[in-house]
Amino acid sequence: MPRFFIREDNIFSDYALIIGDDARHIGRSLRMKIGEEITLCCNNTDYICKIQSITDTSVRAEIMSVNRTQTEPDISLVLFQAVPKSDKLDFIVQKAVELGAVKVVPVITRRCVSRPDKKVFEKKRMRLKKISEEAAKQSGRGIIPEIGEIIDINEYYEQAKDFELNLFCYEGGGERLCDIASLKSAKNMSLLVGCEGGFDEEEAEAVINNGAIAVTLGKRILRCETAPVCAISIIMSITGNI
Amino acid sequence: MPRFFIREDNIFSDYALIIGDDARHIGRSLRMKIGEEITLCCNNTDYICKIQSITDTSVRAEIMSVNRTQTEPDISLVLFQAVPKSDKLDFIVQKAVELGAVKVVPVITRRCVSRPDKKVFEKKRMRLKKISEEAAKQSGRGIIPEIGEIIDINEYYEQAKDFELNLFCYEGGGERLCDIASLKSAKNMSLLVGCEGGFDEEEAEAVINNGAIAVTLGKRILRCETAPVCAISIIMSITGNI
């Protein structure tokens, strides 16, 4: 069944409205008809609906049943990703969303070659939000994972305080994910992954001193876009979410 | 230290020869000089060498020490990948090699849109072999993982007989990888992953009847190029190789 995310203020007591591009998509591309079923999703809740009317600007659908989305992991994992070159961040966002991350925050670390400021990055952030929404739709997520504003490592230290557990993929070595006992019980965690050049030794030490656990992803050298996909897969497996 | 794969017949008692493109690359791109150290790798063995002479067609290097490569997993995992659309197989080969697979075999399943025959696929296979070599170099592998000839599902059934354990990612559901007890002890296994359309129910049943264990990768729907990366990551973690 086709699946769309809608905003809370478009959900009413017994019907919901799909507006904008999605409405056009339902009528024109999917060629859906009145009476057909559609799933609308908002805040981890699925609304199974039946289409009542279709125009190019809005689709009205009767709410038939309401259920909590079944696909969300029971952990909240935020990926802090050092900004890589070219369009690798697009790829990383897509895969992190499929695998269950709740948010991706781009971070500027010492070895980042690309170092856009917040303003310049805003345009790219809009694109990443679209990629997140597309991946969330395709993979059946219950939320659209957020894309955070680009931050520097000091802001990472600040934000890291909000998590029960902070993990950090370090090519200089660390614990294996499956040996971290607290990973099995933590419900709220962050994962920091470096860019192509990885982490400068001094910076890695500072991240560890700030309370993050250094993690190894084995003896092979993973590309910076492979590392988060690998780490999130393993974390989701260990916590029972894959 | 720069790292190159060489053929066994270019290794002599106290020196080794690097010929062809790699020789040119060492002299022209890397601008290496006589006396500099280089790692040459052949059949899971690292030869630490010192460059003795450089021309555009060959580099001669003195063998200083010989060690078993430290990066190879202690399991042999062959990925049987149903052929996806466009260039997704390039991506899958690159990631499977980084993560430690020993071989990737393209398979034609019922739902494959792209269905090249063996001859037509040969050109693509040559490109995939290059991608495998590049990824093996970059990730520090001890071997260049093979790219098998393209096969149909019946040939998969035949080849599957050679493995202690055959796994099969099925969107129709299956066991969680971490619940498969034999995964912890098997040294020799295969993993079958579908294309965009996944597996036809009848085909899935036949694969299971042939002895493969159906595996789930959780409730979110992973793209066909994400599934093998996710599954190999988890398998390498469970078997102690990540």
> Domain map of chain B by residue range?
3-68, 76-238
Encoded tokens for B123 = 């050109």
Segment B29-46, tens digit of pLDDT: 999 999 999 999 999 999
Residue A212: helix, strand or coil by DSSP? coil
Contact B20, B55 (CB under 8 A): no
* B117 backbone φψ class: left, alpha, beta (φ>0; ψ -120 to 50): beta
A19-29: average pLDDT: 93
B38-57: average pLDDT: 95
* Cβ atoms < 10 Å from Cβ of A104: 23
**Cα gap B66→B92, rounded to integer Å:** 32
Across A2-6, A79-83, B96-100, B131-135, least confident range: A2-6
The verdict on a CB contact (< 8 Å) between B218 and A139 is: no
A201-210: average pLDDT: 96
Q: If you count residue pairs, one on A and one on B, with CB atoms under 8 Å apart, how many are there? A: 100
The verdict on a CB contact (< 8 Å) between B98 and A223 is: yes
Query: In the predicted model, is pLDDT for residue A160 greater than 90?
Result: yes
Instruction: Tell me the HSE value of B120 on the side-chain side, using a 13 A CA sphere.
Output: 5
Contact residues, chain B, for A223 at CB < 8 Å: 98, 138-139
Give the pLDDT of residue A148: 98
Segment B70-113, tens digit of pLDDT: 999 999 999 999 999 989 999 999 999 999 999 999 999 999 99
Give the pLDDT of residue B1: 84
CATH superfamily of the A76-238 domain: SPOUT methyltransferase, trefoil knot domain (3.40.1280.10)
Query: In the predicted model, is pLDDT for residue A1 greater than 90?
Result: no
**CB distance from A167 to chain B under 8 Å?**
no
**A216 phi/psi in degrees, rounded to 5:** -100, 145
Closest CA to B24 of B57, B51, B50: B57
Strands B103-108 and B146-147: parallel
Q: Please state, for a pLDDT cut of 70, what percent of chain B lies above it.
A: 100
| Nearest C-alpha in A relative to B242 | A218
Query: In the predicted model, is pLDDT for residue B2 greater than 90?
Result: no
Closest CA to B160 of B195, B228, B210: B210
Residue bearing tokens 């994962």: A191
Rg of the Cα atoms in chain B: 20
**CB distance from B69 to chain A under 8 Å?**
no
**CB distance from A236 to chain B under 8 Å?**
yes
**CB distance from B70 to chain A under 8 Å?**
yes
Enter the pTM of the model: 0.95
Mutate to test the interface with A, among B87, B131, B219 (most CBs of A within 10 A): B219
Give the pLDDT of residue B242: 95
**Cα gap A158→B110, rounded to integer Å:** 52
What HEC string does chain B produce?
A: CCEEECCHHHECCCEEEEECHHHHHHHHHCCCCCCCEEEEEECCEEEEEEEEEECCCEEEEEEEEEEECCCCCCCEEEEEEECCCCCHHHHHHHHHHHHCCCEEEEEECCCCCCCCCHHHHHHHHHHHHHHHHHHHHHHCCCCCCEECCCEEHHHHHHHHCCCCEEEEECCCCCEEHHHCHHHHCCCEEEEEECCCCCCCHHHHHHHHHCCCEEEECCCCCCCCCHHHHHHHHHHHHHCCCC
Query: In the predicted model, is pLDDT for residue A2 greater than 90?
Result: no
The matching CATH number, chosen from 2.40.240.20, 3.60.150.10, 3.40.190.10, 3.40.50.920, for B3-68 is 2.40.240.20
The verdict on a CB contact (< 8 Å) between B138 and A176 is: no
The verdict on a CB contact (< 8 Å) between A221 and B138 is: yes
Type of residue at A181: A
**Cα gap B183→A171, rounded to integer Å:** 27
The verdict on a CB contact (< 8 Å) between A220 and B176 is: no
B112-138: average pLDDT: 94
The continuous run of DSSP H or E covering A239 comes out as none
Q: Which residues of B201-216 are buried (b: 16+ CB within 10 A; e: fewer)?
A: eebbeebbebebbbbb
